[in-house]
Structure 1
C-alpha cells in the first residue's frame, strides 16, 4: 500500500504504526512533516514542508489560530502537489487535523481517502480551560475556543474517517463529528514495556545507581507545567520528603510549556515552584533529570515505587499508560480522562488534583507500605495489555479502518486473522 503520513512533529501519534509498517516492508511510505532533523531511514521517505504563512504577533485573536493553521495547510498542500507532480499518489492519507495540515489535501488528491486524527475539541468548559482557579480563564475564552475549532470543523468535512485515541477525547467533539470518528488508542508496546526488577538508574549526585530496593518516587511530563499538575506535585513534595526521610524524587521533563499559559519567570514553572516551596524541601533528595532518552525513562519508571501522574481534564498522556504497562503503582489525578484508564483501588490510586496534602498522603502510604499496594501494578499492566496493547488490540483495528477505505487488492493483512 502507498501511505502518506502527515504530522508536523514526526512521528507524533504514528510512532508505532509507522514503525510497524516499515518493518513489514512492501509498502511505499511517505511522511510529510515540518521537522528538519529526521534522519534518513530505510523503508520510508521523509519529506519536509514549510508553513506558507505565520500570523503577525498582533493578529486578531479570533482568527489567529485559523490563520496559522491555514498557513500550515497550504504549505503542506504545496509539498503534496510536488509529490503528485513527481508521480506519487497515495492509496490513503493518515494525518493529524489539529494544525491544519490536512485541510487542503483533497484539492491535491480528490479521490484519495483520508483518516484524520481528532485529538481534542477546544472546550471553554469541561476541559483544561478554566479547570484550575489558580489560572482563571479569560472572559473571552468561550469565543477564542470556539474560533479555534474552525480547524476541526473544516477538517471533519475533509476527512473520510476520523480517529480519536480515547472515548473522553472523542466525547469532547459535537455529536455530528462522532458519527465519523472511531475510538482506538494509538497503541502501547506492552511486549516491550514491562516491569524489570533488576533495573538500575545511575544518579551522579548519589554516587551509586538506585534500584527497586530504594525508596524512589517519580513524576514525568513533557514539560513541567500546570496542565500536567506540576504545581500540585511540587506543593506535595515537602510533605512526602518530610514523612519519608529516605525517599528520593526523580523528575523528568523540560522547562518549557506544551499546553496552557507560559510562565512569567525565567526558568519557567520549575523556577516558580522552587522559589515557592524553598527551604521546605530537602533538595539533595530531588533529582531534576530533564528530558531523558526513552530507554532511560523506562528504567526510571521501572525502579519507581510510586509514580505520580497529574493532569487537568485534557489529552491522556502516553506516559500514564506506559507506566501502567511497566507495572508501576500510580497515584493520579481524579479527572475524567484518567478515570477512563485507571480504576481507584484496582489499577491505581486517584487523588484530588487541587489537594497537595491528599497527593502526599497517598504517595507516602505507598512508599511506607508497598506490600499493601503490590496488587496495583500487575493489575494496571493487565488492564493496559487487554485494552491498549499495540500489536493485539490497537493495530488490528487501525488496519481494519484503513482497509475499509481502499480497494481489496491494496489491503493490509490484519495480524491474527487468516
Structure 2
C-alpha cells in the first residue's frame, strides 16, 4: 500500500505507526513535512514550505487561519509535485489537522481517503484558558479561542475520518464532530518499556551513578512551564527536601514555553521560581537536566522512587504513560485528562494541582511508606498494557479504521 503521512514536525504522533508499517516491508511510505533533518528507515521524506506567513502585525483573530492556509497550500503544491515528478499517488493520507496541512489535499486527490488527527479544540472553560488564577484570561480570550478553531472547522469535512488519542481530547470538540472521530492512543511500546531494578545513570557532579538504592524523585515535561505545573512542582520542593534529607530531584525539560503565557523573568520560569524560593531549597539536591536522550530518559524513570506528573487540563503527555509502563509510582495532578489514565490509589495518587503542600505531603508519604504504595506500579503497568499498548491495542485499532476506508485488496494485515 502507498501511505502519505503529513505532519510539519516529522514524525509527530506517528513514530510507532510508521516504524510498524516500515517493518512490514511491503508498503511505500512517504512523509510530507517541513523538517529536512529526520530520516527514518523505510520512509521517503518530502518537504514543503509554507506558501505564506502572516505579517507580524496581522489581525490577531485571523492570524492562525492565515498561517494554516499558507501551510495547506504549501503542502498541497508539494503533494502535486510528488505525483507529477515521482508518479506517487497515495492510497491513503494520514496527518495532523492542527497546522492546516490537510486543508487542500482533496483538491489534489479528491478520491484518496484522509484520516486527520484532531488534537485540541480551544475553549475558555475546561482546558488551559482560564484554569490558572495566576494567569487569568483577557477580555478577548473567548474571541481568540474561537478564532483558533477555524482550522478544525475547515478540516472536519475534508477528512473521511478523524482520530483523537483520548476521549477527553475528542470531547473537547463539538458534538457534531464526535461521530466522525474515533479514539485510540498513539500507543506505548510496553514490550520495550519495562521496569529494570538494575538501572542506573551517572550525573556529572555526583561521585557515583544513581540507582534504585537512591531516593530519586522525577519530574518530566517538554518544557518547564506553567501548563505542566512546573511552578507548583518548584513550590513543593522546600517541604519535600526538608522532610526527606537524602532525596534528590531530577528535573527533565527545556526552559522554553510551549503553551500559555511566558515568564517575564530573563531566565524564564525557572529563574522566576528560583528567585521566589531563594535559600528555602537545597539546590545541591535539585538536578536540572534539560532535555535528555530517550535512552537516558528511560533509565531515569526506572530508578525513580516517585514520579511526579503535573499538568493543567491539556493533552496527556507520553511521559506519563511511559512512566506507568515502566512501573513508576506516580503522583499526578487531579485533572480530567489525567483521570482518564490514572485511578486514584489504584494506578497512581492524584493531588490538587494548585496545592503544593498536598503534593509535597503525598510525595513524602510515598517515600516514607513504600509498602503502602507498592501496588501502584504493577497496577499502572497492567493498565497501560491493557489499554494503551501499541502492538496489541492501539495499532490493531488504527489498522481497522484504515481498512474501513480501503478496498479489500489494499487492506492491512492485522
Q: TM-score range by the shorter chain?
A: over 0.9
**Alpha-carbon distance between aligned partners in 1 of 2:264 and 2:58, rounded to the nearest angstrom:** 21
Q: Which residue of 1 aligns with 2:268?
A: 268
SS of 2:131's equivalent in the other structure is coil
**Alpha-carbon distance between aligned partners in 1 of 2:38 and 2:335, rounded to the nearest angstrom:** 36
Q: Which residue of 2 aligns with 1:62?
A: 61
**Structure 2 segments unaligned to the other structure (5+ residues):** none
Q: Which residue of 2 aligns with 1:141?
A: 141
Offset at residue 374 of structure 1 (A): 0.8
Offset at residue 327 of structure 1 (A): 0.2
**Alpha-carbon distance between aligned partners in 1 of 2:68 and 2:124, rounded to the nearest angstrom:** 20
Instruction: Map 1:333-344 onto structure 2 (within 5 A).
Output: 333-344=333-344
Offset at residue 265 of structure 1 (A): 1.9
**Alpha-carbon distance between aligned partners in 1 of 2:269 and 2:261, rounded to the nearest angstrom:** 10
Instruction: Map 1:295-314 onto structure 2 (within 5 A).
Output: 295-314=295-314
Q: Which residue of 2 aligns with 1:47?
A: 46
**Alpha-carbon distance between aligned partners in 2 of 1:406 and 1:285, rounded to the nearest angstrom:** 56
The answer as to 2:208 corresponding to 1:195 is no
**Alpha-carbon distance between aligned partners in 1 of 2:279 and 2:41, rounded to the nearest angstrom:** 52
Q: Which residue of 2 aligns with 1:79?
A: 78
Q: Which residue of 2 aligns with 1:352?
A: 352
State which drifts further: 365-374 or 4-13: 365-374
TM-score, normalising length: structure 2? 0.99
SS of 2:42's equivalent in the other structure is coil
Instruction: Map 1:29-178 onto structure 2 (within 5 A).
Output: 29-39=29-39, 41-86=40-85, 87-178=87-178
Q: How many residues align?
A: 413
Offset at residue 180 of structure 1 (A): 0.2
Offset at residue 354 of structure 1 (A): 0.3
SS of 1:319's equivalent in the other structure is helix
Q: Deviations over 1:378-401 (max 9, x none)?
A: 000000000000000000000000
**Structure 1 segments unaligned to the other structure (5+ residues):** none
Instruction: Map 1:220-231 onto structure 2 (within 5 A).
Output: 220-231=220-231
> Once superposed, which parts of structure 1, at least 4 consecutive aligned residues long, lie more than 4 Å away?
none
SS of 1:347's equivalent in the other structure is coil
Q: Which residue of 2 aligns with 1:288?
A: 288
The answer as to 2:8 corresponding to 1:8 is yes
Q: Deviations over 1:256-283 (max 9, x none)?
A: 1111122222221111111111111101
TM-score, normalising length: structure 1? 0.98
The answer as to 2:28 corresponding to 1:28 is yes
**Alpha-carbon distance between aligned partners in 2 of 1:219 and 1:183, rounded to the nearest angstrom:** 28
Q: Which residue of 2 aligns with 1:410?
A: 410
**Alpha-carbon distance between aligned partners in 2 of 1:23 and 1:116, rounded to the nearest angstrom:** 23
Q: Which residue of 1 aligns with 2:204?
A: 204
Offset at residue 153 of structure 1 (A): 0.3
**Alpha-carbon distance between aligned partners in 2 of 1:352 and 1:180, rounded to the nearest angstrom:** 34
Q: Deviations over 1:53-101 (max 9, x none)?
A: 1111211111011011111111111111101212110000000000111
Across the aligned residues of Structure 1 and Structure 2, the Cα RMSD in angstroms comes to 0.7
